[in-house]
Amino acid sequence: MEFTYETVAFFIFALTTLGSGIMVVTDENLFHASLYLLFSLFGVSGLFVLLVAPFLAAVQVLVYMGAIGILIIFAIMLTRGMMKMDQVYNSQRVAAAVVAVLLFIALAVTLTPIVDELEFGEDLNAELAEDPVADVTYETVNELGKVITDRNGFVLPFEVASLLLTAAMIGAIVVAREDEA
């Protein structure tokens, strides 16, 4: 295998994503786990850059790292109870790790034959070229934004997501206010 700048960058971003993802689920401090989540999301955005998808990379940074990640950190800091270091040790950590490894092996054994049967390459590209939806291209981000926010587009999912984020913020404020009272 030839090591170019792209392969080195891929391994750096992949290891950042995987290492931070493992730390998210194994760290006992919830605040530190949320910071590891931000590092993991940064690694994913770097992988999007390597896939020559700058729009997805920008959305990953702005929406997930910027909005969702910071919202999680604020929620943790507002609840205050999670910041204490006197949390109870989870005695089922080893059992959970064993179950996770067994589930991974089961999924790998189940999905490997399915993925091997899929035909990638020219046949897939030919099918996409015949699909009329695949021919739709957007020259600018403005055109993409107009299509997404069109009445027949994705307005409803955007509104549902905004309501969920608002409800999460109100819930965090209510929990923080109850601690003060």
Check pLDDT > 60 for residue 26. yes
Q: Are residues 151 and 83 in the same domain?
A: no
d(CA 99, CA 104): 9
d(CA 38, CA 36): 5
25 domain residue, yes or no: yes
Span 124-157, pLDDT tens digits: 455 545 554 555 566 677 777 777 777 766 777 7
100 domain residue, yes or no: no
CATH of the domain at 17: 1.20.120.1200
Alpha helices in the chain (DSSP H): 5-26, 30-50, 54-59, 70-79, 93-117, 122-130, 141-148, 155-180
Q: What's residue 18's pLDDT?
A: 94
111 domain residue, yes or no: no
Q: Are residues 77 and 142 in the same domain?
A: no
155 domain residue, yes or no: yes
119 domain residue, yes or no: no
Q: Are residues 138 and 82 in the same domain?
A: no
Distances (CA, A) of 53 to 18, 65, 78, 137: 20, 17, 35, 14
Task: Determine the distance from the C-alpha atom of residue 100 to the mean position of all C-alpha atoms in its chain, rounded to a whole number.
Answer: 19
With tokens 């993409």, the residue in question is 144
Distances (CA, A) of 152 to 146, 147, 156: 11, 8, 9
Q: Which domain holds residue 174?
A: 134-181
126 domain residue, yes or no: no
Taking residues 47-61, report their average pLDDT.
Answer: 89
Q: Quote the number of domains for the chain.
A: 2
64 domain residue, yes or no: yes
Q: What's residue 88's pLDDT?
A: 58
pTM to 2 decimal places: 0.55
26 domain residue, yes or no: yes
The better pLDDT of the pair 111, 50 is held by: 50
- Of 87, 102, 119, which closes a domain? 87
- Of 71, 87, 103, which closes a domain? 87
Distances (CA, A) of 67 to 16, 61, 141: 20, 9, 20
Give the confidence band of 41 by pLDDT, cuts at 50, 70, 90.
very high
- Of 87, 104, 124, which closes a domain? 87
